[in-house]
Structure 1
Amino acid sequence: MTGPPPEVEPPPTSATPAPVLFIGGLGRSGSTLLELVLAQHPDVCALGEVVHLWQRGLVDDERCGCGERFAGCEFWQELGRRAFGGWSKLPLDRVTELKAAVDRTRYIPRLARYRLPDQLRREVHEYTSYYQRIYQAARELTGATVVVDSSKHASLAFALRHSPGLDLRVLHLVRDSRGVAYSWARQVRRPEVVDADAYMPRFSTLTVSGLWTVQNGAFHLLSRAAPVTRLRYEDFTADPQGWLRRIRELVDLPDDPAAGAILRDPPTSPSPAHTVAGNPLRFAAGPLRINRDDRWRAALPRPRRTMVSLLTLPLRLRYGYYRGRREATT
Structure 2
Amino acid sequence: MTTSDKNVYILGTAYSGSTLLGSALNGHPLIAYAGEISRLPFFDHGPVGTACFVCDIKGEACPIWTDDLKARMEQRGPGEAVDVYRETVGTPVVIDGSKYAQWLRSVQASQPLPPHTRVLLTTKNPFSYASSIKRRDGHEAWLAANMWRDTVFDCLRTLVSLGLPYLVVRYEDFSLEPERLLRKVCGFLDVEFDQRVMSFWKQPVHALGGNLGAYVWYKGVMPDSPAPAQKGGDLHVAQTYEARGFGGWFDSKWRDELTADEISLVLGTPLLGDLCSMMGYKLERLLSGTAL
CA contact (8 A) 1:83 1:137 kept: no
CA contact (8 A) 2:86 2:92 kept: yes
Mapped to 1, the partners of 2:277 and 2:264 lie a distance apart of 14
1:249 aligned partner = 187
Residues 53-100 of structure 1 show CA distances to partners (whole Å, capped at 9, x for unaligned) of 2279997655523335999422111xx525745x8xx46xxxxxxxxx
Moved more, 230-239 or 297-306: 230-239
2:230 aligned partner = none
Q: Partner of 2:16: helix, strand, or coil?
A: coil
Match of 1:289 among 230, 242, 246: 246
Amino acid at match of 1:228: Y
Answering whether residue 281 of structure 2 is matched by residue 320 of structure 1, we say yes
Match of 1:303 among 254, 258, 261: 261
Which of 1 and 2 has greater Rg?
A: 1
Give the CA deviation at 1:327. 4.7
Match of 1:277 among 203, 209, 212: 209
Amino acid at match of 1:170: V
1:143 aligned partner = 90
Give the CA deviation at 1:158. 2.9
CA contact (8 A) 1:83 1:133 kept: no
Match of 1:23 among 10, 16, 33: 10
Gapped runs of 5+ residues in structure 2?
219-241
Aligned residues with identical type, % of pairs: 23
Mapped to 2, the partners of 1:58 and 1:213 lie a distance apart of 21
Distance change (3 Å), C-alpha of 1:65 and 1:29: same
Give the CA deviation at 1:47. 1.3
Q: How does 1:43-58 map to 2 (within 5 A)?
A: 43-54=30-41
Answering whether residue 100 of structure 2 is matched by residue 168 of structure 1, we say no
Mapped to 2, the partners of 1:67 and 1:57 lie a distance apart of 20
Residues 143-176 of structure 1 show CA distances to partners (whole Å, capped at 9, x for unaligned) of 2121111111111223334532533211111211
Q: Partner of 1:149: helix, strand, or coil?
A: strand
Moved more, 201-210 or 14-23: 14-23
Mapped to 2, the partners of 1:207 and 1:57 lie a distance apart of 19
Give the CA deviation at 1:215. 1.2
Distance change (3 Å), C-alpha of 1:168 and 1:270: same
Gapped runs of 5+ residues in structure 1?
1-13, 92-128, 188-200
CA contact (8 A) 2:123 2:171 kept: yes
Q: CA RMSD in A?
A: 3.2
CA contact (8 A) 2:51 2:65 kept: no
Q: TM-score with structure 1 length normalisation? A: 0.66
Mapped to 2, the partners of 1:292 and 1:65 lie a distance apart of 26
Match of 2:63 among 74, 82, 85: 74
Mapped to 2, the partners of 1:56 and 1:158 lie a distance apart of 11
Distance change (3 Å), C-alpha of 1:230 and 1:58: closer
Give the CA deviation at 1:22. 1.0
Amino acid at match of 2:274: P
Amino acid at match of 1:139: R
Give the CA deviation at 1:15. 6.7
Q: Partner of 2:264: helix, strand, or coil?
A: helix
Distance change (3 Å), C-alpha of 1:272 and 1:281: farther
Answering whether residue 145 of structure 2 is matched by residue 186 of structure 1, we say no
Residues 250-288 of structure 1 show CA distances to partners (whole Å, capped at 9, x for unaligned) of 2221223x33xx52xx47x53342121112224424676
Distance change (3 Å), C-alpha of 1:60 and 1:23: closer
Moved more, 156-165 or 296-305: 156-165
Mapped to 2, the partners of 1:153 and 1:65 lie a distance apart of 22
CA contact (8 A) 1:67 1:283 kept: no
Q: Partner of 1:65: helix, strand, or coil?
A: helix
Match of 2:53 among 59, 64, 73: 64
1:109 aligned partner = none
1:230 aligned partner = 168
Distance change (3 Å), C-alpha of 1:150 and 1:82: closer
Distance change (3 Å), C-alpha of 1:222 and 1:296: same
Mapped to 2, the partners of 1:219 and 1:40 lie a distance apart of 27
Mapped to 1, the partners of 2:91 and 2:189 lie a distance apart of 12
Mapped to 2, the partners of 1:222 and 1:57 lie a distance apart of 18
Distance change (3 Å), C-alpha of 1:182 and 1:58: closer
